[in-house]
Amino acid sequence: MTGWWCASRVPKWARAPIPRWRNWWPRGGSQGVRSSQDYVRKAGAAARMMLVNAAAARWKVPATECTVERGVITHGPSRRRLRYGEVAAEAARLQPPQDIPLRDPKDWKIAGKSMHRLDIPDKVMGRPVFGVDVALPGMLHASIAQCPVFGGKLKSVDASVAEKMRGVKKVVREGDFVAVVADSWWRADQALQKLRIEWDAGANGNVSSETIAAMLRDGLADPKLPQARKVGPNIPRPTSTTPPWSRRPARPG
Amino acid sequence: MLKLNVNGKQHQVDVEPDMPLLWVLRDHLGLLGVKYGCGVALCGACTVHVDGAPVRSCVVPASAAVGKAVVTIEGLAAGGLHPLQEAWIEHEVPQCGYCQTGMIMSAAALLAKTPKPSDADIDRAMTNLCRCGTYTRVREAIHAVAASSASAAAKKA
């Protein structure tokens, strides 16, 4: 929309008339720009037209006499200038155009070029605020021990040592976890290590990779599922196994 | 009460002597460029300099840094950018950026000791982990700084 690189985040209103998959807004596989550029370009171009029209209406001049560059609208003959933001409220009340001409690729300024990323200078200085860096007034930190068995419960916990440790505010006992709350995460975690916890593993206490594999093998052997067992009338389906794993991110940020 | 010299300034902090330097820097001195990654000296996100040597501050007790000069990313280049930070920008090294301050601190310690490192030197010194996989650009940027400081030194001579 002839904004500039730093202003080129997709605004909310540009998201509306878009084919979606199950009402999701999925991004992945580096497909974002490739799959969305057509409608994002149209949305940007439509917004530019509306902003120019709003500026032209304010100046009472034909929109064709206005040009845009880096988010600034200029009326050539009178040299008047307005920033997008200054006419955004008026532009938002205009009817979106139906016929939206897109810029010829040979006139592209950003698309198709390698641009410098804007986040990097801050990142080499350690300035970005990651989740682990968020601090709110009066904020406390917790370190949590969860029952190692899904469906298990906390049976008992002796927190007598932890509760006396520096910075510790509270030991929270809940159904399947216990947490130490302290004035810093390190202090909470140190105290957590001093808890003496007993878990009640419950019905899943004996579940292991072996028992899960056995359950699946039994399922495959079920005579009511012949098609799962055989590729053809006399050809058994080969089986292979893979251990369970999770896609948890590897950092606390 | 521990007396620490961090980024050229004296600080007094009222902390447990076994509190890791990482948490003193982050929680008590507000230096959030130092990152907590693994907590067991494996990943290097918490790398700072203690008397010029790169250390993993998540396992160094604060008391061990008393009487020594601690430098974090915030103090690497007083008021400006270290040549490595410039090269990091030029070569667009970071992706998410979480591990990068530790990377830069490790690289700075490497170049201070070995101004013109080989690939093998870099591999040996740069044991920091990066889940975005920026390793090839890290290496590129280190070589670029080594080459430009070598040519600057040649011009002076």
What local confidence, expressed as pLDDT, does residue A228 receive? Answer: 55
DSSP 8-state assignment for residue B24? I
Please, which pLDDT band fits residue A6 given cuts at 50, 70 and 90? very low
Asked if the Cβ–Cβ distance from B34 to A126 is below 8 Å, we say yes
Helix axes A32-59, A84-92, angle to 10 degrees: 90
CATH code of the domain occupying A139-204: 3.90.1170.50
Split at pLDDT 50, 70, 90, the class of A52 is very high
pLDDT level of residue A13 (50, 70, 90 thresholds): very low
d(CA A18, CA A26): 12
A231 touches chain B (CB under 8 A): no
For residue B79 the two structure tokens come to: 């008021």
CA B149 – CA B111 distance, rounded (Å):
10
Question: Average of pLDDT values for A67-81?
Answer: 94
Q: Is the pLDDT of residue A85 over 50?
A: yes
Checking if the pLDDT of B133 tops 60, the result is yes
Polymer length in residues for chain A: 253
Confidence tier at A8 by pLDDT (50, 70, 90): very low
Q: Which pLDDT value is given to residue B78?
A: 80
Q: Considering only CB atoms, which chain A residues are within 8 Å of B20?
A: 186
Whether A251 has its CB under 8 Å from any CB of chain B: the answer is yes
ipTM value, please give it: 0.94
Answer yes or no: are the C-beta atoms of B49 and B66 closer than 8 Å.
Answer: no
Residue A21 has pLDDT above 70, yes or no: no
- Note the pLDDT tens digit of each residue in B17-70: 999 999 999 999 999 999 999 999 999 999 999 999 999 999 999 999 999 999
Q: Do B33 and A126 touch (CB under 8 A)?
A: yes
Give tens-digit pLDDT for A108-133: 888 888 888 999 999 999 999 999 99
pLDDT of A234 over the 80 cut: no
Asked if A128's CB is within 8 angstroms of B36's CB, the reply is no
Contact yes or no for B89 and A119 at CB 8 A:
no
Q: Which of B19, B33, B98 sits opposite A125 (nearest CB)?
A: B33
Q: Give the gap in angstroms from C-alpha B157 to the nearest C-alpha of chain A.
A: 31
What's the rounded Cα separation, in Å, for the pair B96 and B135?
Answer: 13
Task: Point out the residue among B27, B73, B101 whose CB comes nearest to the CB of A184.
Answer: B27
Asked if pLDDT for residue A235 goes beyond 70, the answer is: no
Domains and CATH numbers, chain B: 2-75 (3.10.20.30), 83-156 (1.10.150.120)
Question: What DSSP string runs through B94-109?
Answer: -SS-TTHHHHHHHHHH
Q: Which of A108-112, A201-205, A227-231 has the highest mean pLDDT?
A: A201-205
- Band (pLDDT 50/70/90 cuts) for residue A16 is very low
Going by pLDDT thresholds of 50, 70 and 90, the confidence category of residue A246 is: low
Structure confidence at residue A146 (pLDDT): 96
The CA dihedral of B97, B98, B104, B105, to the nearest 10 degrees, is 160
Report CA torsion sign: B118, A250, B38, B72: positive
A–B: how many Cβ contacts below 8 A? 68
Of B32, B74, B81, the CB nearest to A133: B32
With an 8 Å Cβ cutoff, is A248 touching chain B? no
Mean local confidence (pLDDT), A180-188? 97
Residue B8 buriedness (CB in 10 A; 0-12 / 13-18 / 19+): exposed
CA distance A135 to chain B (A): 10
The residue extents of the domains of chain A are: 5-18+32-107, 139-204, 208-246
The chain A residue lying nearest B24, using CA atoms, is A186
Enclosing H/E stretch for B53: strand B53-56
Mean pLDDT of chain B, nearest integer = 95
Q: Which of A13-17, A32-36, A242-246 reaches the highest mean pLDDT?
A: A32-36
> Is pLDDT at A162 greater than 50 in this prediction?
yes
Residue from the list B36, B81, B96 with its beta carbon closest to the beta carbon of A132: B36
